[in-house]
Amino acid sequence: MFLPNTPAKITNVTKIINDKFLEMDNNALVAWLSSDDLRPIDPNDKTRLGPFPELAAAVKSKGWNGRKFIDEYEGGYLTGPKGRYDYHLKYLVHLGIDDDKYPSEKEGQLTQALKNRFKLPPLKGERYVSVVSNSVPFYYKIVGVSQ
């Protein structure tokens, strides 16, 4: 434990990746997508989210890991063949899933579940949301101190 204004020498730190998805291989990602016990970010919300069997099957067949999934998920939209107003979610298109037929309820559940993928606890929100993701990419854990 650190006391305020007490000199100490940090002798060792460990870099911790905060986003669990960046460390997931294909099997771990498929297991996460297959779970029916995913939770929203608000610890007081007792809702359970998932499973996402169609996504799990597509991810397994494509061999995506967590990093690839997040890159695609955060990639936004692609313009479809019908012109500039024909938008499709990039991750669904690249998984070979027709996003016009994929249930919007499942898309919303996935968005809520992904907000809770970080190791650090959520932060207190402001105005319209009670909590927000603590989405820093990494942090350092102090593992060695001498006086």
Q: Give the C-alpha distances (Å, rounded to integers) separating 126 from 44, 111, 114, 116.
A: 16, 19, 20, 18
Q: Which residues of 26-63 are buried (b: 16+ CB within 10 A; e: fewer)?
A: beebbebbbeeebbbbbeeeeeebbbbebbbebbeeee
Query: For residue 120, which of 131, 104, 128, 129 has the smallest C-alpha distance?
Result: 131
Q: Is the pLDDT of residue 147 over 80?
A: no
What global pTM score does this model have? 0.86
Q: How confident is the model over 108-119, as pLDDT tens digits?
A: 999 999 999 999
Rounded mean pLDDT of 111-130? 91
Q: How confident is the model over 15-27, as pLDDT tens digits?
A: 999 999 999 999 9
Q: Is the pLDDT of residue 4 over 70?
A: no
